[in-house]
Amino acid sequence: MGFSGMLVFCRNQRPLAEVSVFGGLPQEVRDRMAERGEWWLRPGGWRTGQVGGDWRDETMLRDLAARSGAPACVGFVYDSDVVYVRGLSPSGREWSATLNLEVAAELRVDPPGDVDDPLEWSASAECAQATARKIAEFDAEVPDAAREALAWAAEAGCGAGVELTAVETMLRSKPEVFAEELFSDMIDVLGFPAAEEPPSVPAS
């Protein structure tokens, strides 16, 4: 089983487990965030956190952007296969994107109600055609998502010189292994500072 839960990207000087926005999460979830839920820090206080479980709090993104005074985004991950991203800036600019389009399309295609054997239908030409149509729907959303995401990044002072086509290419890309990788790749391509490996702690 892969990871299912939420990825959070925002600017904050304190570790995300200490942010009041997450105060409503169960203590054990916040403890996991503090221990191993935060990815490498990016210069300027940009942080990425990983929150396991089904925490789809729609107010969290708004609170993150308002409290930090900077753009923020969240990614809802399903089994490390797909990430559904929503971004918001303090000015109210919103955008959304789906990462790993082909798998997302496969998950969204259901067999007709009169199908007796869903597994047999999933291998049929009809299923392939339905999936192709859904992929095309997702793909058609990419240019607008890329444009809005780049404008969102610009509100954070990032993205200068980034080609729109580079963002579109990234949004259409596939992960090497886990869909969470695409979330990090998305932040990179939007021109945010690169994550920095923390200094090693000398052995005692």
* pLDDT value, residue 25: 72
Question: Six-digit token pair at 174?
Answer: 């596939």
Burial of 58 (0-12, 13-18, 19+ CB in 10 A): exposed
* Closest by CA position to 63, among listed 33, 88, 45, 83: 88
d(CA 124, CA 117) in angstroms, rounded, equals: 11
Residues in the chain with pLDDT < 70? 1, 34-36, 54-58, 113-118, 120-121, 200-204
Structural contact between residues 21 and 51, judged by C-beta atoms closer than 8 angstroms: no
* pLDDT value, residue 165: 97
* Closest by CA position to 150, among listed 74, 97, 77: 97
* pLDDT value, residue 22: 76
| DSSP-assigned beta bridge partners for residue 8 | 49, 74
Task: Compute how many other C-beta atoms are within 10 angstroms of the C-beta atom of residue 181.
Answer: 17
**Which residue type does 161 have?**
G
pTM of the model as a whole: 0.88
Going across the sheet that includes 94-99, the strands are 46-52, 5-11, 72-78, 82-88, 94-99
In Å, how far are 66, 132, 137 from 8, measured between CA atoms? 14, 30, 26
* pLDDT value, residue 201: 53
* pLDDT value, residue 156: 95
